[in-house]
Amino acid sequence: MFESGAIENKMIIKEEDFSVEVVDAAFNIYYNLNFPQNFAFENMLSAYKFADKYDIKFIINHLEEYLIKNISTSNVCQLEKFSTDFNVTELHQSCVDFLIKCLQENIPILGADSLEKDFVFSLFLKTLSPVVETDTNV
């Protein structure tokens, strides 16, 4: 849509769907590969939703890469839920890997109580060492 240059290709964006700040950031990412300074984390997620709604793969890919690089103990739970809701598999796997590392190293996670119980149980099982069976007939 952006690349064609055709004037008849118009995108109508309702202000109640996405703020001007979020749309501007999405276009900055698309045209300049710039992530706005001091851009709120929630706005990054909104920019992803914007790109997803209008199927702008270039923005989706760059935002996913950005979010993966910026996973932290303060946002991993929010990113895990977001990645599940939007089926962002690479981001989701990065969150799982980060959470497992935190579990193994006993690092506190902000908002851990908001994670789904079945998901937490599967994480816990992944942190356990596999049981090696020995042959008792030898």
pLDDT per residue over 110-121, tens digit each? 999 999 999 999
Q: What is the pLDDT of residue 133?
A: 59
Distance of alpha carbon 51 from alpha carbon 61, whole angstroms: 10
Domains in the chain: ranges and CATH: 1-70 (no CATH), 71-129 (1.25.40)
Distance of alpha carbon 8 from alpha carbon 17, whole angstroms: 22
Residue 136 has pLDDT above 70, yes or no: no
List C-alpha distances in Å: 7 to 10, 33, 103, 131: 7, 24, 53, 63
76-85 and 41-53 are packed helices; what angle lies between their axes, rounded to 10 degrees? 10
Distance of alpha carbon 122 from alpha carbon 6, whole angstroms: 50
Residue 1 has pLDDT above 60, yes or no: no
Q: Quick one: CA torsion of 87, 119, 43, 90, rounded to 10 degrees?
A: -40
Give residue for tokens 């030898």. Answer: 138
pLDDT band for position 2 (50/70/90)? very low
Residue 97 has pLDDT above 90, yes or no: yes
Q: 124 versus 68: which is more confidently predicted?
A: 68
| 24: Cβ contacts below 8 Å, ≥ 6 apart | 36
pLDDT band for position 99 (50/70/90)? very high
- Helices and strands in the chain, H and E counts: 6, 0
Average pLDDT over residues 58-80: 94
Q: What is the pLDDT of residue 10?
A: 64
Average pLDDT over residues 130-137: 57
